[in-house]
Amino acid sequence: MAKQTNKTASGTSTQHVKQQNAQASKNNFGTEFGSETNVQEVKQQNAQAAANKSQNAQASKNNFGTEFGSETNVQEVKQQNAQAAANKSQNAQASKNNFGTEFASETSAQEVRQQNAQAEAKKNQNSGKYQG
């Protein structure tokens, strides 16, 4: 079977397609879109879209503020903040007091004095040995 050079594998005439493309690029491109487009209708749709966009932006802005405004009780938030600050202060004071109490209950002042006296005595005893 001989291969035909002016047809595609599916049998389309390449010459015919080239002629159609040339004709379309000359006249039909502008005419085709021009005849399908109603300029007045496009302008009207653009104006309507711009109006809707502006209206939606304003509605969204108002709803955003209203949503959070209705969900937030300012007085309740202030009360919670004051309570949190009071708890923080109270916890810090309790922690400070417990820390001192813990060490005070574990430390015997008399025992510490005795250990210091023994250390001082050893120090004096050892310093006498090395002077000689």
pLDDT(119) > 90: yes
Q: Are 23 and 16 in contact (CB under 8 A)?
A: no
- Tell me, what's the pLDDT at 128? 73
Q: What is the CA radius of gyration of the chain?
A: 47
pLDDT(70) > 70: no
- Residue 7 DSSP symbol: B
- Tell me, what's the pLDDT at 102? 57
pLDDT single digits (tens) 76-102: 888 999 999 888 877 777 666 665 555
- Tell me, what's the pLDDT at 77? 87
> H-type helices in 9-38, by residue range?
14-23, 29-36
Cα–Cα distance measured from residue 56 to residue 16, given in angstroms and rounded to the nearest whole number: 52
pLDDT single digits (tens) 29-54: 555 555 677 788 888 989 999 888 88
Angle at 69 between CA 63 and CA 70, to 5 degrees: 90
Spatial neighbors of 15 by CB under 8 A, at least 6 apart, are 6
Cα–Cα distance measured from residue 14 to residue 5, given in angstroms and rounded to the nearest whole number: 9
Q: Are 126 and 119 in contact (CB under 8 A)?
A: no
